[in-house]
């Protein structure tokens, strides 16, 4: 399948935007990668990369060819997975793109539970913002994406979804820690750590603040949930996270925000429409769908 390896070279150059960087990623000589690019361009009769002072970028013909190469690679992975399944092999790999809010608690727990049943399955997980996570699926860089409030689902199939409340996360000795629910105004007397605009949880909070007279004055804005939670622990403040990712840990408590005007978001598991998933990824998608259904039932 040497020709497929050469297609992989082209895909790597497109992703890296540089022949040298792609060669380093592939652990081959840059001259070998450049030669394969030139051979392909000669065979196609047109350039697929525009040479720039620093790096390369795809031409219109290159965009078409790379899309073809990625489909071929995805089809091959799916066939290899089916062959392994037919021969009784219990190994495989799941590639997943996920929102940051799901990384600390939910995903490690679900992956561990899945691997307890299928110990031969390995995972390649990329933690990305929601736009890039969805793009990873459409670009064949990931089989699945698990994201909070995805921006655009065109071309994707929703496998499962679950409504999610926003929670305030505080230290276990915080004055609010014994409460079973909170209003946002209850949190304003304490140092606030808010997500920045790259995190979809910020949109949900902003919608509520826009409808109220309360105006938050956050002492910290960050694109890291771990940073926000750490700040809240140190200062006796409050951070916010979706329920599925908030999971109360030692020294912390997650308390649901109860506001009539606070729209609940949703965690969505998606795959590329009409793509047949590799066996391992299809099995994991079914497993995650069950876990998301459990979170919905537990919240009601």
Distance CA 205, CA 84 (A): 46
Q: What CATH superfamily classification does 90-163+266-298 receive?
A: Periplasmic binding protein-like II (3.40.190.10)
Q: What is the pLDDT of residues 198-210, one digit of tens each?
A: 887 788 788 777 7
Residues 6+ apart with CB under 8 A from 233: 171, 251, 252
Residue 158 pLDDT: 94
Mark out the alpha helices in the chain (DSSP H runs).
Answer: 2-16, 19-26, 30-44, 60-86, 106-117, 130-138, 184-187, 200-211, 225-235, 243-246, 279-299
Task: End-to-end CA distance of the chain: give it in Å, rounded.
Answer: 52
Nearest to 148 by CA among 127, 168, 169: 127
Residue 262 pLDDT: 61
**Rg from Cα positions in the chain:** 23
Residues of the chain with CATH 3.40.190.290: 166-256
Q: 166-256: what fold?
A: D-Maltodextrin-Binding Protein; domain 2 (3.40.190)
Distance CA 178, CA 282 (A): 41
What residue has token string 């509520």? 208
Residues of the chain with CATH 3.40.190.10: 90-163+266-298
Distance CA 121, CA 84 (A): 12
Q: Edge to edge, what strands does the sheet with 252-256 contain?
A: 220-222, 192-195, 238-242, 166-171, 252-256
Mean pLDDT in order along the chain per 10 residues (300 residues): 68 90 88 88 90 91 88 76 60 89 89 91 92 91 92 89 90 94 90 89 80 80 92 94 78 85 80 87 92 67
Residue 47 pLDDT: 92
For residue 12, how many C-alpha atoms fall within 13 Å in the half-sphere facing its CB? Answer: 21
Query: What residues does 256 pair with on adjacent strands?
Result: 167
| Mean confidence (pLDDT) of the chain | 86
**Model pTM above 0.75:** no
What residue has token string 């021969």? 87
Residues of the chain with CATH 1.10.10.10: 1-71
Q: Report strand pairing: 92-98 vs 144-148.
A: parallel
Architecture category of domain 1-71 in CATH: Orthogonal Bundle (1.10)
């Amino acid at each position: 399948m040497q020709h497929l390896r050469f297609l992989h070279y082209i895909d790597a150059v497109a992703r890296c935007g540089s022949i040298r960087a792609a060669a380093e990623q592939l652990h081959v000589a840059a001259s070998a990668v450049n030669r394969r690019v030139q051979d392909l361009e000669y065979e196609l009769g047109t350039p697929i990369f525009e040479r720039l002072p620093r790096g390369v970028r795809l031409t219109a013909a290159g965009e078409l060819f790379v899309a073809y190469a990625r489909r071929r690679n995805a089809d091959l992975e799916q066939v290899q997975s089916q062959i392994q399944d037919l021969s009784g092999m219990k190994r495989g790999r799941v590639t997943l793109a996920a929102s940051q809010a799901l990384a600390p608690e939910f995903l490690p727990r679900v992956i561990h539970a899945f691997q307890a049943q299928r110990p031969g399955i390995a995972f390649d997980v990329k933690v990305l913002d929601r736009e890039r996570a969805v793009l990873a699926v459409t670009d064949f860089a990931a089989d699945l994406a698990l994201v909070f409030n995805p921006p655009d689902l065109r071309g994707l199939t929703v496998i499962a979804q679950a409504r999610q409340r926003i929670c305030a996360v505080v230290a276990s000795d915080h004055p609010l820690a014994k409460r079973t629910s909170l209003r946002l105004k209850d949190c304003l007397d304490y140092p606030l750590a808010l997500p920045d605009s790259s995190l979809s949880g910020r949109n949900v909070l902003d919608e509520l603040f826009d409808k109220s007279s309360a105006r938050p004055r956050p002492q910290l804005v960050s694109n890291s949930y771990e940073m926000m939670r750490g700040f809240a622990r140190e200062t006796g403040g409050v951070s916010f996270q979706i329920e599925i990712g908030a999971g109360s840990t030692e020294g912390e408590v997650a308390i649901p925000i109860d506001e009539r005007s606070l729209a609940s978001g949703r965690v969505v598991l998606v795959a590329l429409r009409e793509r047949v998933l590799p066996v391992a990824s299809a099995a994991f998608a079914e497993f995650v769908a069950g876990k998301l259904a459990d979170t919905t039932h537990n919240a009601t």
